Structure 1
Amino acid sequence: MMHPEQVQAIIAEGIACAHLEVAGDGHHFEALIVSAEFIGKNRVQRQQAVNEVLRQHFDSGQLHALSMKTQTPEEWGATRG
């Protein structure tokens, strides 16, 4: 079973994040991932990039479900007001 901190560390190693939050119960996780790497990519491409970083953990069964919100720094700033 993985902890939110572990998932967060794995994402941070693979994607340069301006902001990153991960919460979860060990089986299901939710993440807010803000990265300049998402500029010019659509929602599906962004999620594919995150899934690729986590692929070995999904494939091994350590990670089962991740709901994610992916934003560029500009999009995140706009939603924060």
Structure 2
Amino acid sequence: MTLPTPEQIKSYIAAGLTCEHLSVEGDGQHFYATIVSSTFEGQRTLARQRAVYAVLGERMKEEIHALSMKTYTPAEWASKN
């Protein structure tokens, strides 16, 4: 099995979640994502992460060894930048 690329992980997330900003970095096994989505409005961190894991589905068990993520609403993202 070939290791997934950050671009592939980004496309998987973007296919299932509307994102205002999405960046993914990684080495094929460990990935780091910053995800900004209005879908996260009113959700706590755990619910946001579960939403991302749901989008990735079986890939989290088979392709992706580890995914660290920061999730923000558009307002939270704007206040950080």
Per the normalisation by structure 1, the TM-score is 0.95
Matching residue of 1:9: 11
Corresponding residue SS for 2:33: strand
Q: 1:40 Cα deviation (Å)?
A: 0.5
1:62 aligns with 2:72: no
**Hey, what's the Cα distance between the residues in 1 that align with 2:49 and 2:63?**
19
Q: 1:69 Cα deviation (Å)?
A: 0.1
Residue-pair matches, total: 79
Corresponding residue SS for 1:66: strand
Q: 1:55 Cα deviation (Å)?
A: 1.6
Structure 2 residue runs without a partner (length 5+):
none
How far does the alpha carbon of each residue in 1:2-52 deviate from its partner, in whole angstroms, 9 at most, with x for none? 000000000000000000000000000000000000000000000000001
The percent identity for this pair of structures is 48
Q: 1:56 Cα deviation (Å)?
A: 1.3
Structure 1 vs Structure 2 CA RMSD: 0.5
Q: 1:79 Cα deviation (Å)?
A: 0.2
Per the normalisation by structure 2, the TM-score is 0.95
